[in-house]
Amino acid sequence: MTLLAPAPLTHPISVAEVEPGFWVANDHGAFAGTIERHGDHFYVRDCFSQYRGDYPDLTTATGRLRASAEVSS
């Protein structure tokens, strides 16, 4: 018997600012997580609302959210 690892995502998730300071990510229509700005920090939560970290800029926060989406797919 051979076990196969899940295939990595071949498409990027989309991240959109739905309110000032609040971004929502989706993966082909499925909820993938959020990014919330608090002052000069960006808090990331995955699709299960699990805290995934505090980042100094939106680009890094978005990258972390995308990495979380790939793991949970």
Number of domains forming the structure of the chain: 1
CB 47 within 8 A of CB 28: no
What's the residue count for the chain? 73
Domain range enclosing 21: 14-72
Q: What is the pLDDT of residue 71?
A: 64
Q: pTM for the whole thing?
A: 0.78
Residue 20 lies in a domain: yes
Residue 67 lies in a domain: yes
The yes-or-no verdict on residue 25 having pLDDT over 90 is yes
Residue 40 lies in a domain: yes
Residue 1 lies in a domain: no
Residues in CB range of 43: below 8 A, 6 or more apart: 35, 36, 37, 51, 53, 54, 55, 61
Residue 59 lies in a domain: yes
Q: What is the pLDDT of residue 11?
A: 61
User: Does 10 or 12 have the greater pLDDT score?
Assistant: 12
Confidence of residue 57 (pLDDT cuts 50, 70, 90): very high
Residue 41 lies in a domain: yes
Residue 65 lies in a domain: yes
Confidence of residue 28 (pLDDT cuts 50, 70, 90): confident
